[in-house]
Structure 1
């Protein structure tokens, strides 16, 4: 039933759903394993009422880890070899966390394929990055930001195709645009890259994207 709802063959990029929108109330979603509900209310005034599925939590995790890695590379007085080890630990932790957080959703085949693709991309990027640092591959060392933007854009494009989401397509295009911007930001490439990768992941965690309510895993589309 869920597969039929999420991946109706009559709709590929469905324009009857907003690209991105605010999530519904924390109490307008069915109980799901690992769901986080946040509802802050002062008297009769609702300050915030939202929810975070495990997919949202995985996005949050990647957003925070990406920001830490690239901002550390920009500002921390740590040699590259030590940074490579720290990045490896964080990236592996993020990958494991993503797989663990999305385990429940992998009952839906496209989700499993998307998670597998992201794991492959992140591990490949980690290996290339570490090898370029430890073996002094100059060209790659000067293009690490572009490398990670390319990998993330590929992940978003694949996710867009499998989940039929224009929001993921937009994120992929933004990451490609980021590559074009890098030559113009001088020494601030790591900040720009970390901000773009981190903000994109956090935005997808905070908002509901256009894939037939897969973000909320609803049995039927709810009114806005």
Structure 2
């Protein structure tokens, strides 16, 4: 499918009817104060993954920026959180990607996250200076690759733009020396929140076998 000739908006407000057709497992969240609904949200399996990763990314990079906790302790915590996030992603999206024969996208993210954990831990525990001084670059690069691959697989301009945004974020890092972890957190978390709170263009369908 030609990405340049799509009619769907890149981002838009969530359309409940369309969402219910596209996703089978939806979670509705409501916030009420004094009987008045202040907030309501509808979240698909993909949205839920974005929210989970948003929390994990914020915890990891804000701790790295502001906490005096030792690097080794943080590395252990980061590894545990990243593995937990990866498992949650696999559980939540397995059926959706299987219906559309897109398991390879899920495997790509698993490989990227696993590779990121290994490189990060080697940098910290083995003292690999090149990795230690470029952790933000590493993770922005891995996520940029993941979004780009996913965007191509889903024919999604939104995800391709997010991937480009992460890549451009790497170019910003030299200009925010001393605040690279905070900058990385802002770029990654804001991207995930935008994806979780909006309906973005997805141009793939269920396979005929699974649609019957």
TM range (shorter): 0.7 to 0.9
1:219 maps to which residue? none
Q: Say which of 152, 159, 163 aligns to 2:143.
A: 152
Is 2:100 aligned against 1:89? no
2:200 maps to which residue? 209
Is 2:104 aligned against 1:116? no
1:5 maps to which residue? none
What is the CA distance between 1:184 and its match in structure 2?
0.4
1:58 maps to which residue? 49
Does structure 1 conserve the Cα–Cα contact (< 8 Å) formed by 2:100 and 2:204?
Answer: no
Instruction: Count the aligned residue pairs.
Output: 203
**More deviation in 14-23 or 71-80?**
14-23
Does structure 2 conserve the Cα–Cα contact (< 8 Å) formed by 1:145 and 1:193?
Answer: yes
Q: Say which of 77, 82, 91 aligns to 2:68.
A: 77
Where is the helix percentage greater, Structure 1 or Structure 2? 2
Q: Say which of 145, 155, 163 aligns to 1:172.
A: 163
Q: Say which of 76, 84, 98 aligns to 2:89.
A: 98
Instruction: Give, in whole Å, the separation in 2 of the partners of 1:208 and 1:70.
Output: 27
What is the CA distance between 1:211 and its match in structure 2?
1.3
Provide TM-score, normalisation by structure 2: 0.87
SS at match of 2:113: helix
Consecutive unaligned residues in structure 2, runs of 5 or more = 206-212
1:195 maps to which residue? 186
Deviations 1:131-184 (A, max 9, x none): 110010111100000000000000011011100010001001100110000000
What is the CA distance between 1:112 and its match in structure 2?
1.6
1:117-136 to structure 2, matched below 5 A, reads: 117-136=108-127
What do you get for the CA RMSD once the two structures are aligned?
2.4
Does structure 2 conserve the Cα–Cα contact (< 8 Å) formed by 1:26 and 1:38?
Answer: no
SS at match of 2:90: helix
- 1:39/1:111 CA distance change after superposition, 3 Å: farther
Does structure 1 conserve the Cα–Cα contact (< 8 Å) formed by 2:143 and 2:163?
Answer: yes
Instruction: Give, in whole Å, the separation in 2 of the partners of 1:74 and 1:153.
Output: 21
- 1:156/1:32 CA distance change after superposition, 3 Å: closer
Instruction: Give, in whole Å, the separation in 1 of the partners of 2:32 and 2:93.
Output: 30
Instruction: Give, in whole Å, the separation in 1 of the partners of 2:100 and 2:204.
Output: 16
Consecutive unaligned residues in structure 1, runs of 5 or more = 1-8, 215-224
